[in-house]
Structure 1
Amino acid sequence: MTDTVRMTDVLAAGRAELMTALAEADEHAALDQVLGLLDAGVPAEGVLLEVVAAAQAEIGRLWQADRWGVAQEHAATAVVEHVIAALGARVTTATTRGHVVVACLEGERHAVPPRIVAEVLRGRGWQVTFLGAGVPIAHLVPYLREKVPDAVALSCTLARDLPRADQAVAACRDTGTPVLVGGRGFGEDGRWARALGVDTWAPDAAAAADLLDRPGWRRAARPAPPRPVAPAYTALLTRRAELVDAAVAALDERFPPARDDERQPDEVREEVGELVDFLGASVYVDDPELFGGFVSWTAAAPAARRLPPAGTRVVIEVLARALRADPPGVLRHLDCGRQVLATR
């Protein structure tokens, strides 16, 4: 048996044991397990990526499949955050490279993946400042001007935030700071990063570190010419509140709430607004598959949604009627959503 096979087995067993601890939100067991891997000689980066990051991804899948509730998911994620901190405290690597700032977009609550990026970079000798979740552009830009880092890494988990990501990238570049981006919000293959003119996209923490190791990455991080914003996106943004109101009214008419209905009006309104925001992002990057992908995800995530597929169909039809006379381009995105629902 080769060392590679043995390491694969060790990591697989570590993931299983960590998931057992996370299922019970047992912080002590989780810490003992991952620190025990370090003591056994498993490299810290391997523990972070193959055990901790993999476990966090599995938490998301269990929640989406309605096998874990929101409370259990939150409790497990809180334990993961403590585990990452403990791993970081055990790794002492000399700072031999430059300074990287890692931050989440304003409104971004998913801080675990970029935190893992920060720890991997730190383990490879970078000085890293992790600013955490939800960093407003108005605060990030002055910080970059003051600290003058070698790069800033921005995380976007939800594709609905791509317009905001575009603004953040442009603002960071205006400070002269090279920008890297990552997160599922840019698409599994980084297609929406490239649509925004960002060639320095990384699919995971190891790829981000490898990218920074390349001599020519700074050239790839240079600003692209400004992209014109589609009139259809501007129309959507301007009419967002009106569109949400119309869709919610249609839902109430089509599906009158019963006495024992657990739906909360604010939650339904929030989900309709999210659907409009994903449509806007889809138009912004001119890729109907973005909206179609979100519609597909909502149909497959009963635990995550108050709006069932039948309700999504109603919202799409309301939006189609309301936007028919607006600048062209929106309807083909809505059609992609319709086609997804037709297969359900």
Structure 2
Amino acid sequence: MTSPAGTITPPIGGELADRYLGLVSDGDEPGATDLVNDLLDDGVPAQRIIVDLIGGTQARVGDLWAANEWSVAREHAATAVGERALAAVAARTTTPPDRGRIALACVDGEWHGLPARMLAELLRLDGWRVDFLGASVPGRHLITHLHQTGPDAVALSCMIPTRLPRAHAAITACRSAGVPVIAGGRGFGPGGRWAERLGAHAWARTGEEAVALLAGDWPPRNVTDFPMPDGEAFLGDEEYTHLVRSRPQLITTAMGRLTTAYPPARDYDDSQLEATTEDMGHITDFLAAALYIGEQAIFTDFTEWTAGVLTSRGVPPTALSVGIGLIRDQLVDFPAATSMIDAALAALPPD
């Protein structure tokens, strides 16, 4: 029921993918698991089911939520069905673990566990013994596991850039323990460029790329052959430190000034105020990540994406601009932060 690494098989899509999406949309766990079992019975490689059907559908689910076509509850229910379908595939497929041992974890604070779980199954199918540690693994617990088990490598998943400071701490600790790190997830930036900046030994765009990389002459036997990148010691400067420490005050002050700066907020109900408070937190967190890495794109990409999400929910871009401005007003003595905010504001679409 499996195919060797590198085998080319036709992707799963079209009507079959639409059928599976309909099943997860309805929260139909039995239907989804029956479908993947039927595909396995028909000889479809497990890798294709994991990557194309389960992974491809999960991406569509995220797009449907972003477009306000699905609620958060429906998205979560669909993700749970995907997890069950993945478990059904795993239960039907076995491969002798003859390559080595890998610890796989989501960085502390990263709760998107399904992509990492899919990678775990792909690696098992390729002959690795995988210790899947799950979502949001505190760095100290990850390192304890490394000392207890002595894996050949660590695979670290980060889907959101706000988790990059914690990813950096985990990567640094893994290097100190003598274990090489392969990073994955869009949180590490386009082409994984921030993974290298944070000291990862390799980065993979997809699970299949990670499998192919690990099937080659990797992981390295001598971690010291990979020195830390130049400038690593300068990550997390004074402005970043101030922003992180002042986060609660920044959000509270911004919310206190909101109705004056944006009069329509006077009519917000409790749920709208709660959502706005969360948005203020996201603004602060993404700005902090941008400062930590020294990358304007982290903040600008977030604000542009958020503008699209809010527009799909009937919230005008002005509301986002005002919210960002309320954070900016409290950072006038911090030139890097205000410069990043100004650039992001200039890139936002007009109402």
Kept in 2, the 8 Å contact 1:162–1:281? The answer is yes
Give distance in 1, aligned partners of 2:167 and 2:228.
14
Paired position in structure 2 for 1:74: 76
User: 2:55 matched to 1:50?
Assistant: no
Stretches of structure 2 that go unaligned for 5 or more consecutive residues are 1-7
Measure the CA separation in 1 of the matches of 2:182 and 2:153.
7
Q: Indicate the residue corresponding to 1:235 in structure 2.
A: 242
Counterpart in 2 of 1:3? none
Deviation at 1:335, TM superposition (A): 1.8
**Alignment correspondent of 1:248:** 255
Q: Name the CA shift for 1:306/1:168 in 2 (closer, same or farther; >3 Å).
A: farther
Does residue 63 of structure 1 match 2:59?
A: no
| TM-score between the two structures when normalised by the length of structure 2 | 0.89
Residues 1:9 and 1:216: Cα distance change in structure 2 (over 3 Å)? closer
1:185–1:260 CA distance, 2 compared to 1 (3 A) = closer
1:157-172 superposed matches below 5 A:
157-172=159-174
Partner of 1:272: 280
**Total equivalences in the alignment:** 338
One-letter amino acid matched to 1:288? Q
Q: Per-residue CA shift, 1:172-197, capped at 9, x if unaligned?
A: 22211111111111123212212323
Counterpart amino acid of residue 227 in structure 1: A
Matched position secondary structure for 1:198? coil
Change (3 A) 1:84 1:216: closer
Q: 1:197 to 1:108 in 2, by over 3 A?
A: same
Counterpart residue number, 1:122: 124
Contact 2:240–2:288 (Cα < 8 Å) also in 1: yes
User: Contact 2:299 / 2:344 at 8 angstroms: preserved in 1?
Assistant: yes
The Cα shift of 1:217 comes to 4.3
Taking a change above 3 Å as real, the CA distance of residues 9 and 158 of structure 1, as seen in their structure-2 partners, is closer
Identify if the C-alpha distance between structure 1 residues 192 and 166 changes in structure 2 by more than 3 Å, giving closer, same or farther: same
Quick check: 2:108–2:163 contact (8 Å CA) kept in 1? no
293, 298, 307: which one pairs with 2:306? 298
TM superposition shift of 1:209: 0.9
Shift of 1:141: 1.1
> What SS does the aligned partner of 1:201 have?
strand
Distance 1:325 1:302, change over 3 A: closer
**Cα deviation per residue 1:209-261 (whole Å; 9 max; x = unaligned)?**
11112215426883515422322212212222222122112213234545573
Q: CA deviation at 1:142?
A: 0.6
Aligned mates of 1:154, 1:95 — CA distance in 2: 20
Q: Distance in 2 between matches of 1:154 and 1:59?
A: 23
TM-score by length of 1: 0.91
Q: Paired residue for 1:325? A: 333
Determine the structure 1 residue equivalent to 2:28: 26
Q: CA deviation at 1:324?
A: 2.0
- Give me the whole-angstrom Cα distance separating, in 2, the residues matched to 1:147 and 1:37: 36
Query: What displacement does 1:264 show?
Result: 4.3
- CA distance in 2: counterparts of 1:304 and 1:132, whole angstroms: 32
| AA at the equivalent of 2:297 | E
| 2:226 is the counterpart of 1:222 | yes
Consecutive unaligned residues of structure 1, counting only runs of 5 or more, are 1-5
8 A Cα contact 1:309 1:341, kept in partner: yes
Distance in 2 between residues matched to 1:18 and 1:34, nearest whole Å: 9
- Corresponding residue for residue 109 of structure 2: 107
Looking at structure 2, the residues matched to 61 and 99 of structure 1 have their Cα atoms a distance apart, in angstroms, of 34
Name the CA shift for 1:253/1:202 in 2 (closer, same or farther; >3 Å).
same
Shift of 1:312: 2.1
One-letter amino acid of the counterpart of residue 300, structure 2: G
Superposed displacement of residue 49, structure 1: 0.5
State which drifts further: 216-225 or 16-25: 216-225
Structure 2 residue matching 1:50: 3-state secondary structure: helix
Tell me how far 1:343 sits from its aligned partner: 4.8
Aligned counterparts of 1:343 and 1:182: Cα–Cα separation in 2: 34
Query: How big is the shift at 1:263?
Result: 3.5
Q: Spell out, residue by residue over 1:20-39, the C-alpha distance to the aligned partner (whole angstroms, 9 max, x if none).
A: 11111111111111111111
Judge conservation of contact 2:290–2:296 (CA < 8 Å) in 1.
Answer: yes
CA RMSD of aligned residues (A): 2.3
Aligned AA for 1:334? I
SS at match of 1:132: strand
* Mapped contact 2:311–2:317 kept (Cα < 8 A): no
**Distance across 1 between alignment mates of 2:228 and 2:313:** 37
